[in-house]
Structure 1
Amino acid sequence: MKAGFLALGLAVLSACAPVGQAQRLDASGVATAPIAAFRPGTPRPLPASRPNAEMVRDFLELGFAMESGRTIERFSRFDGPVRVVTRGPAPVQALADLDRLIARLRSEAGIDIARDAQSAEGENTITVEFMQRRQMQAVVPSAACFVVPNVSTWSEFVANRRSPTIDWTQVVTRTRAAVFVPTDTTPQEIRDCLHEEIGQALGPLNDLFRLTDSVFNDDNFQTTLTGFDMLLLRVWYAPELQPGMTRDQVTARLPTLFNRLNPAGRQHAGRNAGITPRAWQQAIEQALASSGGVAERRAGAARALSLARAQNWTDTRLALSLMLSARLAPRDDGEAALSALLTSAEIYRNTPGGEVHAAHIDMHLAVQALASGQSDMVLDLTARAMPIAERSENAAFLASLGFIRAEALGFQGRTAEAERLRLDSLPAARYGFGSDDAARARLDEIARIGSAAQRLAQL
């Protein structure tokens, strides 16, 4: 999990959030007086906004299949109150983020879940074990974080990693699950891991690229559990469903459940996305893979776009294919890449949950506008994207937008506003990028784009 692609023309922005004291940076990036740490306000997740009939199909696809494509024969969940315990050296901010998540699960999903201060282990327990990434990846090299059933500790997982004991397809009533999270990463990435892996420990085990409004989607644009996710979990733990039910039994109950719990979704049947070929998913995974070289990733994006067009898709699968193709396009294909980005943004903007994806495209376009000295366009694009970044609690995204906007303000001679915005964006940058040095690197990267544009304007 957790890769994402928030490139300021280059890098990826997928992180998580801390709470410590941040430091001010002056215009040159030099630390000065302390500044308040990044603290998101009251959660305001984007609500579930698709027709219930469509979400029923999503529930079934998420609940009765693994990411690998293996079928899950029986519906599974915890039966009774769930307790969360932690092991290992947990960062202070991670515990605060965990408690915030648990509070949301109680209030938004209606799940009887709480954190036990003591590391007692027993039935109906989710254990979150914090550990060094190198220890984790020595056993599971590709994992950023993950969840396993029927174990409570890392040593127990290692001892059983080739055993059917930890096969999710064999689990009916969930009694124990362990979430493994690295501590040597950004606070935002730790938080994102907590949201996705605890969400999977409680509910769906699949990820679908077409779900723009969910964290159960490996494109990683959504960084915290969304309104759709909380509605799905509320349905998952409704008394009408029981562990061990077949797909047909669950299917029979879902329309009534969704209509009761989400009356706003009693609309038309919605669209039926149909089957997504495995070949397209593999091509997208290749395009997103951070381990692949540019040529390999570009080939994956081209193949995904070709397959999307062959399927005559007009939905977010086409939008994602277009976006990746544009992001990975060679420099001399700039005009075609821009056209692909604009088409992708239009699809996302007209798709429930697509606001976040469209905002990321706005950021990319803002960088291009900044590089060409179009400061008014930068201000328009960032003004549209920043409320979405704030509402989705993506600190790295929010900070980057603030830094970009500050450069545009500076370009217009609004120096005091620009400096104030840089300072105001720093707490989110530290939370999202992990340190003052990383925040400074992002600030400097964007400042270089703005400075180059100003030099060009003076020629």
Structure 2
Amino acid sequence: MHRFIVPFCLLLSACVPAAEPDTTTRAAIISESSLPPMKRFQVPRPLPAQASNREIARDFLALSFSLESGRELERFTRFEGPINVRVTGQPPASLYSDLDQVLYRLRSEARIDVARDQSGPAHVTIEAVPRAEIRRYLPQAACFVVPNVSSLAEYGRVRRTAQINWSNMTRRDRVAVFLPGDASPQEVRDCLHEELAQALGPLNDLYRLPDSVFNDDNVHTVLTGFDMLILRAYYDPELRSGMTQGAVASRLPAILARLNPAGASRPTAQLAATPRAFVQSVQAALGPGTKDRKSAARQALQIATAMGWQDHRRGFAHYAMGRITQSEDIDAALQHFQAADRYFAASPRTSLHRAYVASQLAAHAIARNRPEQALAVLAPQIDVAARHENAALLATLLMLRAEALDLSGRAAEAREVRLDSLGWARYGFGSDYAVRAKLREIEALNPLKGRIGRL
């Protein structure tokens, strides 16, 4: 998927625009450890889609008939028949269990006939390679998906030919996902979810989607209830490869009425399309190689304000401004984070966004020696991070809670919470070094331990 660096990825390698047009990417180590054992999410708890069917139909068409570059697709394409998935390369130990879990969800929630099969040629090949190999082809990408190839070597041979052009396809027969085998377990899993979703289904991303991995903001990293509904509709028997947009549009209302009866009575949010200028400004503000990030972030906020947006995109622009300005003006940054929280609070579909903002608000409260305020901000967000299976965010929130407990004189509770955070941090951040660096960063927020830090 086309993912770029965003402030929601707390000290994780995030995603950036691919160097080649129409190549779907997700922007860009575990050893023996003295830390507690790694923790993993066992039982998915996705929320059902919360949009109206009319809104979902509009999003389905926008996701399915355009590429991230803006190029229109003339035909609907998918796999026809059972889909087998094969893992090759140098996969980390965590990959297989995470893959089996997402494949189970695709079968049970999206009703797609997909399974792992290592015995021979595959419809979908997942190749785990060193991060450096991915960046040799796409320097700014952490992972990506390509049609009509089965290995990175094959991609290298045909990368400049029409063979890998999504718009030339009439159906999908062979797709490869390339992900970094030396990344943290969470980053590998996030790549699995996002790239596998695009290998099977829609190829586009939309900023207006608040609760989906099909969104460049990178907030959601595992497939949501909305995503599973989109994929279930994508593989509905009423649709088939080669259909035009008009033909798909004519059948969608009946499909969604059958699959999502609750969506018939929901109010429709008529969110305007996102101007390309906003996308470019956010990319410039949060992606690599930009000299004046603050100006780019300010432009994104100006566009959001001029458009009159009251949705998550306005909150996202404030959050980006807060992240960029906090190193030079903590008070101004706090105002942006508070504004972001107000916009995110307006919809239940942006609960995860609020959890990210909570990490910043709590950090500011801790730095100002207001532990009770920090604890109040953090309390409702820890389960939100867990429900959305974001171990990096969950570990961060728990570390912040431990620091606030220390400040309030509850040292025994703080030790217990901090110990709990480490298992999640090992999954979210990977190496012991990264985990300990995160601990030091949050400890630096404590005015009794060190200078004001930065999340």
TM-score (norm 2): 0.91
Inter-partner Cα distance in structure 1 for 2:59 and 2:9: 29
Deviations 1:72-101 (A, max 9, x none): 111111001100001111111111111111
Structure 2 counterparts to residues 56-135 of structure 1, below 5 A: 56-118=57-119, 120-122=120-122, 125-135=123-133
- Paired residue for 2:47? 46
User: Cα–Cα, structure 1 residues 298 and 46, in superposed 2: closer, same or farther, change >3 Å?
Assistant: farther
**How far has the Cα of 1:7 moved from its partner?**
6.9
Task: Give secondary structure in 1 for the equivalent of 2:445.
Answer: helix
- Paired residue for 2:386? 390
- Residue 417, structure 1, aligned to residue 418, structure 2: no
User: Cα–Cα, structure 1 residues 451 and 309, in superposed 2: closer, same or farther, change >3 Å?
Assistant: closer
Superposed CA RMSD in Å reads 2.2
Task: Give secondary structure in 1 for the equivalent of 2:292.
Answer: helix
Deviations 1:175-199 (A, max 9, x none): 0100000112111101100100000
User: Cα–Cα, structure 1 residues 7 and 36, in superposed 2: closer, same or farther, change >3 Å?
Assistant: closer
Amino acid at match of 2:121: E
Q: Is the 8 A contact 2:391 2:425 kept in 1?
A: yes
Q: Is the 8 A contact 2:4 2:283 kept in 1?
A: no
**How far has the Cα of 1:22 moved from its partner?**
5.7
Inter-partner Cα distance in structure 1 for 2:31 and 2:117: 24
Inter-partner Cα distance in structure 2 for 1:160 and 1:280: 33
**How far has the Cα of 1:105 moved from its partner?**
0.6
Q: Is the 8 A contact 2:368 2:447 kept in 1?
A: no
Deviations 1:416-445 (A, max 9, x none): 111111111111111111112211111111
User: Cα–Cα, structure 1 residues 66 and 164, in superposed 2: closer, same or farther, change >3 Å?
Assistant: same
Aligned residue-pair number: 438
User: Cα–Cα, structure 1 residues 301 and 117, in superposed 2: closer, same or farther, change >3 Å?
Assistant: same
Inter-partner Cα distance in structure 1 for 2:377 and 2:33: 27
- Paired residue for 2:7? 5
Q: Is the 8 A contact 2:7 2:320 kept in 1?
A: no
**How far has the Cα of 1:351 moved from its partner?**
2.2
**How far has the Cα of 1:13 moved from its partner?**
7.3
Q: Percent identity?
A: 45
Instruction: For structure 2, list consecutive stretches of 5 or more residues without a partner in the other structure.
Output: 16-25
Q: Is the 8 A contact 1:286 1:297 kept in 2?
A: yes
Q: Is the 8 A contact 2:367 2:446 kept in 1?
A: yes
1:248 pairs with 246, 249, 257, which one? Answer: 246
Amino acid at match of 1:91: P
- Paired residue for 1:309? 305
Structure 2 counterparts to residues 44-443 of structure 1, below 5 A: 44-118=45-119, 120-122=120-122, 125-268=123-266, 270-289=268-287, 291-293=288-290, 295-329=291-325, 333-443=329-439
TM-score (norm 1): 0.91
Inter-partner Cα distance in structure 1 for 2:224 and 2:253: 21
Q: Is the 8 A contact 2:338 2:361 kept in 1?
A: no
Inter-partner Cα distance in structure 2 for 1:268 and 1:231: 15
Amino acid at match of 1:41: Q
**How far has the Cα of 1:268 moved from its partner?**
4.7
Amino acid at match of 2:176: A
User: Cα–Cα, structure 1 residues 446 and 253, in superposed 2: closer, same or farther, change >3 Å?
Assistant: same
User: Cα–Cα, structure 1 residues 20 and 384, in superposed 2: closer, same or farther, change >3 Å?
Assistant: farther
Amino acid at match of 1:104: R
Deviations 1:224-260 (A, max 9, x none): 1111000100010000111111111111111111121
Q: Is the 8 A contact 1:373 1:454 kept in 2?
A: no
Q: Is the 8 A contact 1:5 1:13 kept in 2?
A: no
Inter-partner Cα distance in structure 2 for 1:312 and 1:435: 43
Comparing 136-145 with 125-134, greater Cα deviation is found at 136-145
